[in-house]
Amino acid sequence: METLKTDILVIGSGIAGLWYAYKIADFGSVLLITKKESSESNTNYAQGGIAAAIGEDDSPIIHYEDTIKAGEGLAKENVVKIVCEEGPRLVYELYNLGVEFLTYYNSFGKLRFELGREGGHSRKRIVHARDYTGYAIEKVLINKVKQKNVKIIENCFLVDLLVKDNTCFGAYTIYQKEKKFIKILSHLTLLATGGLGQIYLHTTNPPIATGDGIAIAFEKGAKIANMEFIQFHPTSLYGRRINGRSFLISEAVRGEGGILKTIDGKTFMEKYHPLGCLAPRDIVARAIDNELKERKESYVLLDLTHLNPQKIKSRFPRIYQTCLEFGIDITKEPIPVVPAAHYICGGILINEYGETSIKNLLSAGETSCSGMHGANRLASNSLLESLVFAERAYLRSQELLKGKIEFKNFKWKIKNLIAENKKTEELVKELKKIMWDKVGIVRNDRDLKQAIEELYQLKEEIYKILEKGINISSLEAKNMIISGLLIAYSANVRKESRGLHYNIDHPEKDDINFKKDTILTKNEIFR
């Protein structure tokens, strides 16, 4: 087994991992590993933009108030304050690095960002690069990271974390190209492995979003929080997939005037919320889910045909082109859409500086739970939170690097690398069905209890497979099953409906018993 040593190990190449690597590279040697190509992550598919209070009629306090309101009593006030205040400065820093956000000059000749508005925001505050903001950010950051001589290993899969005496010393990985194990020893490790949408039947997440960081950190003893709060994006393109993921139709499309309708052309959102099509995502997703169940239909329509065609093409070039390739001209016909798993508000519990409950292990981005989103994420706050917490983790890391301790002697029995097998594939299919049917947009006590028992069974089966040998698919399946179990268990604990968690057996919010985080540890739920 090859052994590498570095001051800082970064696992993941989304905005959180790249920003942290870019900043901390001035203070030590940095090795960044990424599961796929460096540009493949949820950041890359972020169409809408990054929220920041930089408009003339906006302020961090208004942004704070909108975020707190969306968080349904669980957003941490101190965290939201930090993110909303620090966000504008960091967005300008991204722009100055070369990210091509849309801008214009006002009547006084002053440069301004062209701002969009999305559901739940009371102001226009979405800084964007048309509908490929995530890609625009990643492209710049990857170049900046390479200029800092950060070593990047692509196609490198996280197998396990090196943890001794509740301190992290790096990771065991598989370098997929050469099918060999690499032990990486590091003084600090940042987990920024993204989300877990692939555990659901319909998801906007890429195939790599299998909950690896969350599941592995949990197995090593890290505290995990608020896994029940899964955001289902209300509008993904129905009936078409791109590389295993549903194509996302951005929230910003409704922000620009897109209207949701049933197949027979009737509007319905006014029945569910005063803001209609601009209601928060959870309400829109549940409204669509309800309409589909009531009408026994498979999708609803998102209509833009009443809007200026040139404006649609200019504001949403990627959405327009992708739909056109599937035979849908969105300027002339409505888009068939269905909800899909999109974002998890929970994850590895971190403090205000990105530190987990394991010493020298930090986390940022969708892998983590900072308390920013509470029970519901406000649109476009995720890229902002990733940026701010990557920055804060970098600031904390400068201090942590001053107290370097000797690497421990880790001995790991090298596992056999075995071929893919059909049994693993079957377990994943079963997992996706359980999660979609029983731990989806609308939940109930009976389904959740059944799901937990079925997921425990899947866990036992995947562990038996791993005893014989490992491969990427079986390790991903294990991480997905553990992540699914964490979601179902957390959802079952929360006997109320709040934010993204809706249980028809407990339809009301219960502030007396449940205005608190759901925190899980390995000893609590592993049988």
Note whether 390 and 152 are within 8 A (CB).
no
Residue 334 located in a structural domain: yes
Q: Which two tokens stand for residue 345?
A: 């508000």
Q: With bands split at pLDDT 50, 70 and 90, how would you rate the model's confidence at 320?
A: very high
Q: What is the pLDDT of residues 198-240, one digit of tens each?
A: 999 889 898 999 999 999 999 999 999 999 999 999 999 998 8
pLDDT band at 379 (very low <50, low <70, confident <90, very high): confident
Alpha carbon distance 108, 56 (integer Å): 13
Give yes or no for a contact between 504 and 79, defined as CB atoms under 8 angstroms apart: no
| pLDDT for the residue numbered 293 | 85
Map tokens 């690069």 to a residue: 129
How does the average pLDDT of the chain come out, rounded? 93
CA distances from 182 to 4, 116, 153, 170, 230 (A): 7, 45, 11, 11, 33
Domain containing 432 equals 422-525
pLDDT value of position 274: 94
In a domain, 10, yes or no: no
* Active-site amino acid positions: 281
| Six-digit token string for 103 | 């801008």
How far apart are the C-alpha atoms of 456 and 527, rounded to whole Å? 8
The whole-number pLDDT of residue 287 equals 95
> Is residue 393 in a domain?
no
Tokens of 207: 């195939």
CA distance 372 to 52: 14
Give every CB contact of residue 498 below 8 A, 6+ residues apart in sequence.
72, 73, 74, 375, 509, 514
User: CA-to-CA distance for 54 and 124, rounded, in angstroms?
Assistant: 9
* pLDDT confidence bin for 161, thresholds 50/70/90: very high
Q: Among 319, 339, 359, where does a domain finish?
A: 339
pLDDT, position 222 = 98
Residue 369 near residue 343 (C-beta atoms within 8 A): no
Q: Which tens digit of pLDDT belongs to each residue from 489-498?
A: 999 999 999 9
CA gap 6, 188 in Å, rounded: 9
Of 339, 355, 377, the one marking the end of a domain is: 339
Per-residue pLDDT, averaged over 184-207, amounts to 94
pLDDT band for position 46 (50/70/90)? low
pLDDT > 70: what percent of the chain?
97
In a domain, 332, yes or no: yes
Higher model confidence: residue 81 or residue 117? 81
198-212, 264-278, 291-305, 410-424: least confidently modelled range: 410-424
For residue 106, what pLDDT band results from cuts at 50, 70 and 90? confident
Nearest to 161 by CA among 407, 400, 361, 7: 361
What digits encode the pLDDT tens for the residues 328-377? 999 999 999 999 999 999 999 999 999 999 999 999 999 999 999 999 99
pLDDT at 144 over 70: yes
Cβ 378 vs Cβ 68: under 8 Å: no
pLDDT band at 418 (very low <50, low <70, confident <90, very high): confident
The alpha-carbon radius of gyration of the chain (Å, integer) is 22
Residues 6+ apart with CB under 8 A from 324: 330
Q: The domain that contains 250 carries what CATH number?
A: 3.90.700.10
In whole angstroms, what is the distance from residue 53 CA to residue 121 CA? Answer: 11
Instruction: Give the residue, 31 or 202, on which the prediction is more confident.
Output: 31
User: What would the mean pLDDT of 501-507 be, rounded to a whole number?
Assistant: 97
258 assigned to some structural domain: yes
CA angle, residues 20, 23, 27, in degrees to nearest 5: 110
Q: What is the pLDDT of residue 57?
A: 95
| pLDDT at 245 exceeding the cut of 90 | no
- Amino acid 44: pLDDT: 53
CATH number at residue 486: 1.20.58.100
Q: Is the pLDDT of residue 1 over 90?
A: no
pTM summary value:
0.91
What pLDDT does residue 410 have?
73
Question: Could you tell me the CA-to-CA distances from 88 to 48, 122, 131, 227 in Å, in that order?
Answer: 17, 17, 20, 29
Report the C-alpha dihedral over residues 450, 451, 452, 456, rounded to 10 degrees: 110
Q: Is the pLDDT of residue 45 over 80?
A: no
Q: Does 326 fall in a domain?
A: yes
What pLDDT is attached to residue 343? 94
Residue 450 burial (CB count, 10 A): 16
Residue 527 pLDDT class (50, 70, 90 cuts): low
Mean pLDDT for 140-153 is 94
- Read off the pLDDT of each residue in 395-420 and give the average, rounded to a whole number: 82
Count of residues in the chain: 527
∠ Cα 408 410 413 (to 5°) = 175
* For the chain, percent of residues with pLDDT exceeding 90: 79
Beta-bridged to residue 116, according to DSSP, are 126
Of the residues 339, 372, 387, the one at which a domain ends:
339
Cα–Cα dist 500/281, whole Å: 9
Q: How many domains does the chain have?
A: 2
User: 273 in a domain, yes or no?
Assistant: yes
User: pLDDT class for 53, splitting at 50, 70, 90?
Assistant: very high
**In a domain? residue 111:** no
